[in-house]
Amino acid sequence: MPWDTTNYPSSLKNLETAVRKKAIDIANAMIDEGYKEDQAIPIATEQAKKWYDDASEKERNQMIQMSDEELRSRDEDAQSSRPELLEKGEHIVPHEDGWAVQTQDAKRASAVFDTKKEAIDRAKEIAHNKGTSVIIHNKDGSISG
């Protein structure tokens, strides 16, 4: 069962509202990707804190105002709500903002990183949890050998 703002791990209790909501959002997506709860919670917490540090005041306020229903509908739009993707490999592809991790046949990237190495590390983590592979592309779109 996905977490929400009334039912979430106690370790998120003392976080600021925006950080807690973002951590819930990230943790739910990670669970959908095949992570175990005890792995997802600390990673989601760390990522949510980093997001908060990098987010604009507007982004923070949008997260605070987002209802559980809006968070769930975002999850429904995300690739993680497509169970058929759990068996698909992760691709590292060039992106306008750096390098993206995108599950084969997914509509959009699950994450975008500044460096190819960061994207590869994340893709390996996701693929390991799903028991799938990682396919690395070059800037021109060809598959790296």
Q: Which domain holds residue 89?
A: 83-136
Is pLDDT at 102 greater than 80 in this prediction? yes
Radius of gyration of the chain from Cα atoms? 15
Categorize the per-residue pLDDT at 79 as very low, low, confident or very high, splitting at 50, 70 and 90: very low
Q: How many domains does the chain have?
A: 2
Categorize the per-residue pLDDT at 113 as very low, low, confident or very high, splitting at 50, 70 and 90: very high
Do 54 and 106 lie in one domain? The reply is no
Do 27 and 50 lie in one domain? The reply is yes
Average pLDDT over residues 105-112: 82
Please state, rounded to an integer, the average pLDDT across all residues of the chain.
85
Burial label, 123 (beta-carbon count in 10 A; 0-12, 13-18, 19+): buried
Do 69 and 126 lie in one domain? The reply is no
Is pLDDT at 139 greater than 60 in this prediction? yes
| Among the ranges given (49-63, 80-94, 114-128), the one the predictor scored with the smallest mean pLDDT | 80-94
Do 18 and 74 lie in one domain? The reply is yes
Categorize the per-residue pLDDT at 145 as very low, low, confident or very high, splitting at 50, 70 and 90: low
Do 100 and 48 lie in one domain? The reply is no
Dump pLDDT digits (tens) for 44-69. Answer: 999 999 999 988 999 999 999 988 77
Burial label, 34 (beta-carbon count in 10 A; 0-12, 13-18, 19+): middle
Q: Which of 81, 105, 125 is the last residue in one of the domains? A: 81
Is pLDDT at 76 greater than 60 in this prediction? no
Do 69 and 106 lie in one domain? The reply is no
Give φ, ψ of 88 to 5 degrees.
Answer: -95, 150
Does any domain span residue 3? no
Is pLDDT at 19 greater than 90 in this prediction? yes
User: For position 49, what pLDDT does the model report?
Assistant: 94
Do 18 and 71 lie in one domain? The reply is yes
Are 127 and 133 in contact by the 8 Å Cβ rule? The answer is: yes
Is pLDDT at 2 greater than 60 in this prediction? yes
